[in-house]
Amino acid sequence: MTRPDRPPAGTVTLRAWPTGFGAAFLGLIVLTLIGCVNYALSLGYGLTFLLGGVWVLAAGQALRAARDLTVRVQARGPVRAGTPLPVQVQARGGRGGVLRVALGVVSGSVTLEDAAGTLDAGTLDLTVPTAARGPLEVRVTLRALDRLGLWQVRLPDPDPVTVLIHPRAEEGAPPPPTRSVPGSGEGAGRAPGDEEFAGLRPYQTGDSPRQVSWRHVARTGQLLTRETDAAQGSARRLDWQDTPGDPEVRAARLTAWVDALHAHADSYALHLPGEVIGPGSGEPQRQAALNALALHDPPTLASLAPPARPARNHPGTRPAPLPGEALTWTLLALAVTLAPGVLRQPWWLSLLIAALLGHSLLRARRDAIRPLPTWLLALLAVAGGAALNATYGTLLGRDAGTAFLAMLAALKTAESHARRDQAVLTLLGLFVTSTAFFFSQGPLTALYAVLSAALLLTAATTRLGTPPPLTRASLTGRLGRTVRVLTLSAPLTLVLFVLVPRPDGPLWQLPVQGQNLTGLGSEVSAGSFTNLAQNPAVAFRADFRGAVPPPAERYWRGPVLEAFDGLKWQQVRGNVPTPSVEATGAPLTYDLTLEPSGTPWLLALETVVRVPQGAFITSGVQAFTPRPVATRRRVTLVSQPARVGRQENGDRLRFDTLLPQGQNPRTLALAQQWAGLPPARRVQAALDHLRSGGFTYTLNPPLLPEENRTDAFLFGSRQGFCEHYASAFAVLMRAAGLSARVITGYLGGELNPDGNYLIVRQQDAHAWTEVWLPGQGWVRVDPTAVIAPARVNADLRTALTQPAASAALPRTGLDRLRLRLDAWQNRWNAVVVEYDGEQQTALLTRLGVTGGAQALWWLLLPALAVTLLPAYAWTRRGARPADPAQRLWHDLTRTVGAPQHPGETPGTYAQRQAGIHPHLSDALRGAAHAYQQARYAPGPPDAALRDLRAAVRQVRSLRHRARR
């Protein structure tokens, strides 16, 4: 049995609401947005807003699919009770969406949700159970979804399909009774037979094609069956009273007798209380008898009630299985997402993840392999967590947390067996993708994150319906559709990225990394900078709002070390008054782009006089922020040449003359020879000693003893790096009666001509000395400059090979390429990565928008409307056919407000709608004629297309007048 298409969508209001997966997807977006706010992950904002754009566009996709979808439901009956009833759902249109079908079986007042499925377009075959005989009503619930399954739209339900369920036959039934219906022979009576023509009747299901009167069919178009009869003879009589038991038992036995007599082509009659089926044989007689038995004395509601069905989320409910192809798609996307973790996580974890993914892939391809047991996965999770805690010392840090999350995602694949597990894996993969920005926010990381998200979303499209095999064509096609959606989401992403207000500070503080990345700590000893000087990684970049200072003034001030125990110099923490600062030159403003370091130092040029909001200037005139630099951060600083500490705290000056007792006697004896000289002459005497003492600047100095280390350096090895010279010079100054301390930080920086900014690398780490001189305050003295002037005038590489050089070695072609790439990186950082609330305000001020966050929200609403227009146009255009004539005919049916039925010709459609809308009859007939000419007439279709276009405009105009 069939039912016509559902009512046209234009006659009802269609509304979309999120599915369970869509709600979880939105929750993931909110979660990642909170993480971006808390850790100032600018690229994280971009990925979050991109996923938000996909979520919004998916709603339009679901509405478009619902608007253009037509559905036909067909039930192939009748069937015997206990035999599944085939139900076929045919869908047309709805491009870009998926149809979800649920079947409800209604008999009496008992309803049972029985079967469900999904299809893109075409035919879906489902079955529903048949528990008892009688009329059975099949109700169909339709929901249109986008291809990701984020949104659903409830469609108008088609008319219910009623099917007659025949009783089941009794197994092992006794032979039918021999009692017969009497007949008087030739001429006395007629009964159905095959001797003479008796007339015509309407065609019934089961009639032999040989009995159809094809002559009448050709003339009238109506199926008619020829009836023949024969002289009435004897026929078996089957009587309701001949069967014992309740009505169901009686119906089952009579059905068995009907089947037995039909198998032998015997004639029989059926007598039921209140109804008699006359003698006959053949398929029509059988169908008539079974129909009568199905409708006679139907069972009560109590006997019809099916067993209680568990609720949707009941533990006994069996979830929809996950097809192997769908799992394969998801594993591919997840493997790409987890691949970068190999570069930063322990090797054993990479092997574990690879083994789990490999096992899941084999399981997806071979049904014989079962998921890993839950107890084993729990054991692996606990053991892996303990191992990560032992490796990193915590599970909350950046490195440990992301590694643990990757392990959990891999463990989830090993037990995934249902479609809902695929949804969980997709969400986990997207969350893992967002955590990559903790480690890097470069353009390559951004591209890889978009690729991972595209693959994960492509895999998510296999959740609904039957997933296609993983071939190059299927991957290219589905990935292309995902890229199209991401491209349409890009304008919305850009608007949200620029206009959504950025908070000034984090919501809470959690560690995002487990170790110091720069090595520039709060203490220094001989050999501290040796490894750091071999690290070419960028520490920070400096953009100057004016001329770049000369090399001799590029001292980037870090920790101030004042406590010395004979081996190492350390910071002193205490409430010390701030020294005086007297400016001697013009201020210099510059922007620092700090790479993640995990330290609170803001490396400023001497002397820093202004720092960002929330930062401080310590008593050592050092820029300090309470929030460690855990991610790439851009700050604006102002420095100014000045005399520092002409008025200094006396206790501090005395502390900075202290030396450990009994250490370095030769150094003390040397310095005491200068004690009678003026302070400035003492400094010069120490520098002269280093200049003429045969000292060497090297990255590979010999090891020094723990006892009398300064003596061993000054009078023994005479080979060292910057910390050796800074420490020894400070000891000499203290032994000579002057206050001295060691400053660590960076020296120099490589000028990039492409961007006119400085690149300061880890290998530029440096240590120097400050000496307090009366009337001058703290004076910088760099003893390394005496040994290797090139360290100040050029760079480290030149200083190690040509210590006396006055300029850096010439750049090679590879160096120039590296600087060009770094210039692009710096622009990316300035425009994208460091885009925060301050830059947002500055941008809007340049555009003439003032008013703070409130103005941003008012500006955001119209901007969103404008950016959604291309996506809206795409969804409208994507639902229309590509052929010009079909597209115009599609527009006409939408104007009329009624879809064209499957198999209905344009002429028939025009005739049907003309009966409903008589004022449109001429325009509709003209449109149908023009359509047929454009599609099928020989020659160019231009003239026919013009006529069809004019007819569509006429119909639109007439409809508009009728509404008014």
Name the residues annotated as catalytic: 722, 766, 782
In sign, the C-alpha dihedral spanning 819, 823, 824, 830 is positive
- Please report how the helices 42-67 and 419-435 are oriented relative to each other, as an axis angle in degrees rounded to 10: 150
Three-point CA angle 86, 90, 93, nearest 5°: 165
Neighbours of 798 (CB within 10 A): 19
Judge whether 439 and 512 are in contact, CB under 8 Å.
no
CB contact burial 864-876 (16+ within 10 A = b; e otherwise): eeebbeebeebbe
Beta strands in 774-901 (DSSP E): 777-781
Tell me whether the omega of the peptide bond preceding residue 319 falls within 30 degrees of 0, making it cis: no
Q: Give the position of tokens 């090993």.
A: 414
Give the side-chain half-sphere CA count within 13 A for 737: 12
Instruction: Give one word for 614, left, alpha or beta, with left for phi > 0 and alpha for psi -120 to 50.
Output: left
Q: What is the rounded distance in angstroms from the CA atom of residue 732 to the CA atom of residue 667? A: 7
Neighbours of 935 (CB within 10 A): 16
Three-state SS string over 343-411 comes to HCCCHHHHHHHHHHHHHHHHHHHCCCCCCCCHHHHHHHHHHHHHHHHHHHCCCCCHHHHHHHHHHHHHH
C-alpha 949 chain-centroid distance = 43
Judge whether 349 and 403 are in contact, CB under 8 Å.
yes
Judge whether 123 and 86 are in contact, CB under 8 Å.
no
What DSSP state is assigned to residue 212?
A: B
Tell me whether the omega of the peptide bond preceding residue 812 falls within 30 degrees of 0, making it cis: no
Three-point CA angle 348, 351, 354, nearest 5°: 150
Instruction: Please report which helix (H) or strand (E) contains residue 720, including its range.
Output: strand 719-720
What DSSP state is assigned to residue 882?
A: S
Rounded to 5 degrees, what are φ and ψ at 78? -80, 165
Q: Both tokens of residue 233?
A: 């003879």
Q: What is the rounded distance in angstroms from the CA atom of residue 330 to the CA atom of residue 310? A: 30
Q: Both tokens of residue 753?
A: 């001509």
Three-point CA angle 509, 515, 508, nearest 5°: 5
Strand 719-720, strand 696-697: pairing: parallel
Tell me whether the omega of the peptide bond preceding residue 78 falls within 30 degrees of 0, making it cis: yes
What DSSP state is assigned to residue 716?
A: I
Judge whether 847 and 856 are in contact, CB under 8 Å.
no
Q: Which residues pair with 569 in a beta bridge?
A: 524, 564
Judge whether 621 and 679 are in contact, CB under 8 Å.
no
Q: What is the rounded distance in angstroms from the CA atom of residue 167 to the CA atom of residue 262? A: 16
Three-point CA angle 260, 232, 258, nearest 5°: 15
Judge whether 726 and 732 are in contact, CB under 8 Å.
no
Q: What is the rounded distance in angstroms from the CA atom of residue 556 to the CA atom of residue 640? A: 13
C-alpha 669 chain-centroid distance = 70
Q: Give the position of tokens 């690149």.
A: 759
Closest CA to 433 of 350, 337, 353, 497: 337
User: How far is residue 951 from each of residues 581, 890, 924, 945, measured CA to CA in Å?
Assistant: 86, 13, 7, 10
Judge whether 333 and 470 are in contact, CB under 8 Å.
no
Strand 750-752, strand 110-119: pairing: unpaired
